[in-house]
Structure 1
Amino acid sequence: CPLMLRLGVARCLARSALAPARRPLCSGDFGLKNAFVTMQLHPGATTKQIKAKFYELAKATHPDVQQGNSAKAAETSSAAPVFERFDTGVIQAALDPVERFLEVQAAYERLMEAAENGGGVLQAGSRGRRKETAPKMRAKTLGEVLVERLVEEPEAVETVWADIVAQGCGVSVPMIERLFKAHAYHGRAETNKGMSAGLQMLLQGVELKLISQTTRSAAMVHLLTGWKNANEDYVVNVIIEHVTDEDREDATVMAAIGAVFCAGTRSPY
Structure 2
Amino acid sequence: MTRIIPSLASIAADYDAVFCDLWGCLHNGKTPYPAAVAALQAFRAGGGKVALVTNAPRPKATVIAQLDRMGVPRDAWDLVVSSGDAAQAAMLQGAVGQKVFHIGAEKDEDFFTILPEGAVAPERVGLLEAEGIVCTGLEDDLSETPDDYRAQLLLGKTRGLTLLCANPDIIVDMGDKRLYCAGALAGAYEDMGGKALYFGKPHPPIYDLARRQLDLDDPRILCIGDGIGTDVAGGRAEGLDTLFITGGLAADQFGPDVANPDPDLLAAWLEERQIFPSHAMGFLA
Category of TM-score, reference length = shorter chain: under 0.3
Query: What TM-score do you get using the length of structure 2 for normalisation?
Result: 0.24
Give the TM-score, by structure 1 length.
0.25
Structure possessing the higher relative contact order (Cα contacts under 8 Å, 6 or more residues apart)? 2
Structure 1 or 2: larger helix share?
1
